[in-house]
Structure 1
Amino acid sequence: MADLPTVRWGIIATGMICEWFVTDVLKPDWPEKRANHTIQAIGSSSLEKCQKFAEKYVAPAKPTVQPTLYGSYQEVYDDANVDCIYIGTPHGFHKKNCLDAIKAGKNVLCEKAFALNAKEAEEVFTAAKEKGVFVMEAMWTRFFPLMKTLQKMLHEEKKLGTIYRTFSDFGLDFDIPNLPDDSRYKDPTLGAGSLLDIGIYTLTWGLTTLSDKVGDEAEEPEVASTQSIAHGVDLSSQVLLHYRSTGRQGICTSTTNEPQCKPFTRIEGSKGRILVDAEAPSLPTRFTFYPKDGGKEEVYTFESPGRGFYWEADAVALDLQAGRKQNATMPWAETMRVMRIMDGVRKRGGARFPVDDW
């Protein structure tokens, strides 16, 4: 393990997503381990929150290096021993958190959705380019072995032959109208609504299964969409992707009115269909191929010792070791493409954030 790259992480915030990330990267039994990870520092709005977080989620792993705990984010950015900042705050804080970290010369892995809109995302990437630091959107699902295997089968091996359509749905039952006004699921200043929180996953399934290109190399699909709005946020979003060059279509939906349906994604082609299933679209665990000729179905199952955050963490480590400023799976141009699509959905549907200039 000594010859593997090591990343010393600075964790920004102490919520659930940070809990998942920290417990995952500290697990010793990763499959095909490609990097070492240290939780070097943790920052929160209070030192007490950091202490409770470290006691509950770091201490059980018995790491050789104990994290430095801070009652602010800025102290994490300024810590000379931190290599990369992991940002797990609500969407509405991502731009500021990223810019503050970049100003301090830190590399950044920022949770999805990367920003509230494409304009904010562009500001962050411009700052990163000027400072010469690595930045990546933490769209962890794209790094799962299941996703890599599925994409290879679809786009290289042509398992489905000609791909026709992808259906993908993500549902949660949050009852947004009855949540407190300051809830991150209800407050527009925090990027509330189904689209940025869970719709981004179904959009990802559509984009990755209908084409093998990302970023500047990818075709911009035509997009039609609708949203159901209450209290200024979308309770549900329906996005239709149309690839003019191939005729392929993606139907990508999200809702906070109904629990998740299973399987959550169906990909149709001339040789059959593939159904993807799991606890949620963000955590795919298996897919099944059903051949159109009536042959035997094929089940592909993928296991991991945690939720799967270590695959993206390892990818960051390898990029930093190589001196790269972007990741090939999730380059800046791909984040911008997704943000532009979501901006268009919100413009048409009416889910406007205070920072939007339309």
Structure 2
Amino acid sequence: MAEMPICRWGIVATGGISEQFVRDLLMSDWPEKKANHIIQAIGSSSLEKCKSFAATCVTPAKPAVQPALYGSYQEVYDDKNVDCVYIGTPHSFHKRNCLDAIEAGKNILCEKPFALNATEAEEVFAAAKEKGVFVMEAFWTRFYPLIKTLQRLLHEERKLGTIYRTFCDFGLDIDISSLPETSRYKDPALGAGSLLDIGIYSITWGLMTLSPETGDNAEQPDVSSTQTVIDGVDVASQVLLHFRSTGRQGICTSTTTFECMHPFARLEGSEGRILVDGSTPSSPRSFTFYPKDGGKEERYEFEKPGKGFWWEADAVAQDLQAGRKQNQTMPWAETLRVLSIMDGVRKRSGTRFPVDAW
């Protein structure tokens, strides 16, 4: 049996998502863990912010290794003790952060959405290939045991029989008009709107449940869409995925005008339906199978350590130990498939970012 891998992490940015990631990795032992994690370095826009972050997130956990604290991101990239950089900046900065880390020869786990468009992602992947480093989009939900179990039941055991449709809605109640012009929900330069922030989850649920393959072997669905746009920013998106080979359809919606109802997803097939529940589509907790013949329902519940970032971190550590440059669950081609779908949605509605070439 291979020795459990150890990954020494460099944390870039000290916002809310980085806080959740660090807290999870510093939790006490989780029985299902498949790697050991060390917070080796933390970088922020100022040393004061970095120290405050460490005092809040790291010190209470009393780790054996105290992280180096830096007042810049570049110092994290240059730290020779860091195995992999976790990038938790807003998505408009992901391309630059990734390219800087790659230039320093660092492996990368970058938050979703990986970039503002597919062109940016292609540039990062090309640089990573040339440098020979590992890069993965941090799409934590895809690594949940709940998702792995659901996909096995759908695509291997054919629990639903012939799959017909998936419905998924992600709604938040955000008064965008009241936010400052610099808000990431309002400024197109920051990737404003509901699509990249939460619509990406609804689309991903459609792909995960309707398409058994990921990456280069995955079917590219036909896509139609509409968006409600206010002041150049989408506040609601409706995306229809159609897989020609099977006729399956995904109805994927998102909005910042109303909080989504629960269950947030429904899967339909010839043998029944599955309803998925949880706080949001990004963090599912359970699903229930309802047989078409009226038989006894089957409920599947899953314990979750902390916020649920542990599984993707373990996957990265295992890939690094094995010398892989891409992850099988979240390969580069899958990141590009999702970004290309969202590019098309935005092109059709005219929600353009300054970096877009169209």
- TM-score grouping bracket, smaller chain normalisation: over 0.9
1:125 is matched with: 125
The AA in structure 2 aligned to 1:222 is D
Which residue number corresponds to residue 48 of structure 2?
48
SS at match of 1:123: helix
State how far apart, in whole Å, the 1-side matches of 2:96 and 2:316 are.
Answer: 21
Q: State the shift of 1:233 in Å.
A: 1.4
- Secondary structure (helix, strand or coil) at the match of 2:34 reads coil
Confirm or deny: 8 A CA contact 1:92 1:116 kept in the other structure: yes
Query: Are the aligned partners of 1:265 and 1:277 in contact in 2 as well (CA < 8 Å)?
Result: yes
Cross-structure match for 2:179:
179
Q: Provide the residue aligned with 2:98 in structure 1.
A: 98
C-alpha distance after superposition, 1:147-190 (max 9, x if no partner): 00000000000000000000000001111122100011111111
Match of 1:350 in 2: 350
2:10 aligns to what?
10
- Deviation larger for 31-40 or 159-168: 31-40
Aligned to 1:333: 333
Query: 2:48, 2:160 → 1: CA distance?
Result: 53
| Mapping 1:195-274, distance limit 5 Å | 195-274=195-274
Q: In 2, Cα distance between the equivalents of 1:177 and 1:242?
A: 34
| Matched letter for residue 187 of structure 1 | D
Q: Structure 2 CA distance, aligned partners of 1:229 and 1:355?
A: 19
Q: Distance in 1 between matches of 2:101 and 2:332?
A: 17
What is the distance in 2 between the residues matched to 1:55 and 1:3? 32
Matches of 1:305 and 1:115, distance apart in 2: 28
Whether the aligned pair in 2 keeps the contact of 1:177 and 1:230 (CA below 8 Å) is: no
Structure 2: distance between partners of 1:185 and 1:351 = 13
Q: How many angstroms does 1:232 deviate by?
A: 1.7
Percent identity, aligned pairs only, is 75
Deviation at 1:211, TM superposition (A): 1.4
Give distance in 2, aligned partners of 1:96 and 1:265: 35
Separation (CA, whole Å) in 2 of partners of 1:120 and 1:74: 20
**Distance in structure 2 (CA, Å) of the matches to 1:43 and 1:186:** 26
Shift of 1:230: 1.4
Counterpart Cα distance in 2 of 1:329 and 1:335: 10
Query: Displacement of 1:351 after TM fit?
Result: 1.2
Tell me how far 1:294 sits from its aligned partner.
0.4
Q: What TM-score comes out, normalization by structure 2 length?
A: 0.99
- Give me the whole-angstrom Cα distance separating, in 1, the residues matched to 2:356 and 2:60: 43
- Cα 1:103–1:305 change in 2 (3 A) is same
- Indicate the SS of the match to 1:266: strand
Distance 2:46 2:230 in 1: 33
Paired amino acid for 2:230: A
User: What are the equivalent positions in structure 2 for 1:302-321 lying under 5 Å apart?
Assistant: 302-321=302-321
For 1:140 and 1:116, locate their aligned partners in 2 and report how far apart those are by CA, in whole Å: 18
Q: Specify the SS of the correspondent of 1:153.
A: helix
**Equivalent position amino acid for 2:278 in 1:** A
Structure 2 gap ranges (5+): none
- In structure 2, what is the Cα distance between the partners aligned to 1:86 and 1:7? 11
Distance of 1:146 and 1:129 partners within structure 2:
32
The amino acid that maps onto 1:158 is: R
Q: Helix, strand or coil for the counterpart of 1:119?
A: helix
d(CA) in 1 for partners of 2:336, 2:342: 10
Q: Aligned pairs, how many?
A: 358
Matched, 1:292 2:281: no
Deviation at 1:260, TM superposition (A): 2.1
Q: Following the alignment from structure 2 to structure 1, what is the Cα–Cα distance between the partners of residues 28 and 211?
A: 35
Q: Distance in 1 between matches of 2:309 and 2:286?
A: 17
Give SS of 2:58's match: helix
The residue identity in structure 2 corresponding to 1:180 is: P
